[in-house]
Structure 1
């Protein structure tokens, strides 16, 4: 006989689960960055190799992922309507955050892979900038409250960290 557990979603558990997801994304980027530095024997830095396609593609991808991720994040959060329940709004936030994380991580991983391929630290530097930006996206209670368009009643409900979200 299977034991069925019903987990209750509270603001505290929602924040915690988002933070764990964030750490997973961050850990993957940092781990690959460390592995790439260990793998590459003779790394160099060259800011003047403009004939190489990656010289333009990697920074362009970083800029597009930065703006694209933030645009999609805002669009997804702005789709919350006043009539949406708190549960729908936090689910919408989680989806928006995951999409933004994926965009930022994609550009960082591209920089790391191109660094492994070319051994040019220029690409690793771009990846590091994206990882540093990613760190600023850490989901906190204040960030969630600021970004989700809560009604006054929903904001009060979200303040009660251990009460179930309806």
Structure 2
């Protein structure tokens, strides 16, 4: 295969990974806006009290999800580094990114549901923090090169 075709395959890989990332990001954001619309139209948002039992649950699930996703991501990337074929490395990298994002997405959705159930605005803060964490782990070509410990020439020669 020609060099430009191989490079195009790597570009297509990262385009599809970016689409997956934004799809996983937009799901909770759309759900958040739907819940906010429902709560604001009913005038039921509470700002003066905080449910500590729900707060502990949301904090623990958020903490475990963020750190668990990061741990699995690192383990899967280490396994991907040992693969010989660049295409296999990138496919394993895609899996590790999706798992990491899914863990955070689950915590975001949980905090939105708790906000929906309790109407306490404090749970929106957990949601916003988790979304900010989600935004910081956007998969990029440079991050893949760094995490997989490959160089740009190898990336250009990637075969899938």
Contact 2:24 2:101 in 1 (8 A): yes
Does structure 1 residue 11 correspond to structure 2 residue 10? yes
Give secondary structure in 1 for the equivalent of 2:93: helix
Shift of 1:54: 1.1
Contact 2:61 2:107 in 1 (8 A): yes
C-alpha change, 1:68 and 1:164, in structure 2 (3 Å) is closer
TM-score of the pair, normalised by structure 2: 0.86
C-alpha change, 1:27 and 1:127, in structure 2 (3 Å) is same
Shift of 1:42: 1.7
Does structure 1 residue 157 correspond to structure 2 residue 151? no
Larger deviation, residues 105-114 vs 140-149: 140-149
Contact 2:86 2:158 in 1 (8 A): no
CA RMSD for the aligned pairs?
1.8
In 2, the alpha carbon distance for the partners of 1:28 and 1:143 equals 24
C-alpha change, 1:83 and 1:63, in structure 2 (3 Å) is closer
Contact 2:73 2:100 in 1 (8 A): yes
What pairs with 1:1-166 in structure 2 (closer than 5 Å)?
10-40=9-39, 41-46=43-48, 48-50=50-52, 53-150=53-150, 152=151, 155-158=152-155, 160=156, 165=159
- Runs of 5+ consecutive residues of structure 1 not aligned to the other structure: 1-7
Greater fraction helix: 2
- Runs of 5+ consecutive residues of structure 2 not aligned to the other structure: 1-5
In 2, the alpha carbon distance for the partners of 1:73 and 1:141 equals 16
TM-score of the pair, normalised by structure 1: 0.84
Shift of 1:149: 2.7
In 2, the alpha carbon distance for the partners of 1:70 and 1:48 equals 29
In 2, the alpha carbon distance for the partners of 1:83 and 1:92 equals 9
- Equivalenced residues, count: 151
Which residue number in structure 2 is paired with residue 4 of structure 1? none
C-alpha change, 1:144 and 1:46, in structure 2 (3 Å) is farther
